Amino acid sequence: MSKAISDWLDAKTISEQEFFLKQKDHPDLYDKANELYLKSQTDTSSKKFPQPVEQLSPKGLALMSYLYAEKDKNESQPLIASSIEDFIHLIKLIDKSPAGTSLVIIFQPTDSRAKDTEGDYKYGSYIAEFPTAHKTVFKVERRDSDILLLNMDGTNKELYGSVGQIVAKSALKPHSKESIPKERKVTELIYAYQKNPKVPNPKDGEEIALTRQIDEYQCGVFAHKDARQLTRDEAIMTNAFSPESAVKFRNKTIPDLHHYDLPPEYFKGTQSSVYTDYADKLHGEKVVSRGGKTLKQVHEKHGPGGYVQHFAQKYHDQVTNFLDKNKEHPDVVREAVEKYDAGKMTLERLAKIYAPKQRRHKFR
């Protein structure tokens, strides 16, 4: 059974292991990466592969949002939903919020494979396909009569976004005990997913679908980087939900389904050399960092996969340093984590931080 982000192993102390997906608990997540790392240490002819860095758990990601809120002096940071119920809770709050309310969610449904008393999957077999350790990202915006939901994922697999779409729709449907006032209609959900470009494989010429993330375990880094960028990216929703982006299927436009091209800023962490070449041809001279570096310069500095590995270690160190600094002050750590726990979010706090007048992004 999944634990809520704000549940703790010990009421008096803080355990570092709660903030990471430990290799002993998630061996399948790291097996391939460890195998490639060990091979690169003994086989001089193989490509060098870095030693895997343990990834952040939902608690770790919530703490990262707090740390960046302190750094940016801005509380409008990504929220972490570690269960389907947390995601539903947040969508319901957004439904009650004023038009223009906008926030970003990192979604890791650790309860996707929960079973009911009959032994069946509680949320259905399709949602049960979502790996309990995977993290995907949604940007959500409340409009006058609908909610916009945009998915971004390092692997760009259709499953992850569509699970969020299904769960969000269920949150907006009135339950049997609820009554909807006559003057209010049920909020519509409009969903956007990322286009999946295809290019010839240099090895055999066959078309392959490109994806930024090619390893098994660094989804947390992609999720945090994407979520941070989406939080300050005001243009992406306008572009993704333009009339031109509506999906056409068999000559019929589907108004509540859209797709969008990935903006250049999100290509920095690309691990595939094929995708890196593709991105550099399209956007290589585009400035993508606050330090003024172009996409090509970022790729040249880090190499394929190096950017993500750099931030995996950086995030690991930031979390462990904060925990070490506050090891005698567990309440400080708990309060920091709870601020970005989607399950703990209230309508009042959401309005205070994520309503239109409150979002003032002054990122350094």
DSSP characters over 229-274:
HHHH--HHHHHHTSGGGEEEETTEEEEEEEEEPPPGGGGTT---HH
260: left (phi over 0), alpha (psi -120 to 50) or beta: beta
Q: How far apart are CA 322 and CA 328, in angstroms?
A: 11
Contact 115, 128 (CB under 8 A): no
Q: What is the pLDDT of residue 363?
A: 35
Dihedral angle of Cα 68, 337, 158, 262, to the nearest 10 degrees:
-10
Q: What is the pLDDT of residue 35?
A: 83
Q: What is the pLDDT of residue 42?
A: 80
Contact 339, 73 (CB under 8 A): no
Contact 111, 85 (CB under 8 A): yes
Q: How far apart are CA 232 and CA 260, in angstroms?
A: 18
Q: How far apart are CA 72 and CA 118, in angstroms?
A: 48
Q: What is the pLDDT of residue 362?
A: 41
Report the amino acid identity of residue 17.
Q
353: left (phi over 0), alpha (psi -120 to 50) or beta: alpha
Q: How far apart are CA 21 and CA 17, in angstroms?
A: 8
For each of the chain's 364 residues, which pLDDT tens digit applies?
Answer: 456 898 998 878 899 999 999 888 888 888 888 887 888 888 766 567 788 899 999 999 999 999 999 999 999 999 999 999 999 999 999 999 999 999 999 999 999 999 999 999 999 999 999 999 999 999 999 999 999 999 999 999 999 999 999 999 999 987 544 544 445 567 999 999 999 888 877 778 788 888 899 887 899 999 999 999 999 998 999 999 999 999 998 889 999 999 999 999 999 999 888 889 989 999 999 999 989 999 999 999 998 789 999 999 999 999 999 999 999 999 999 999 999 999 999 999 999 999 986 554 443 3
Q: Is pTM beyond 0.95 here?
A: no
Q: How far apart are CA 325 and CA 337, in angstroms?
A: 15
What residue segments make up the domains of the chain, in order of their start?
A: 16-173+184-349
Dihedral angle of Cα 271, 276, 278, 280, to the nearest 10 degrees:
150
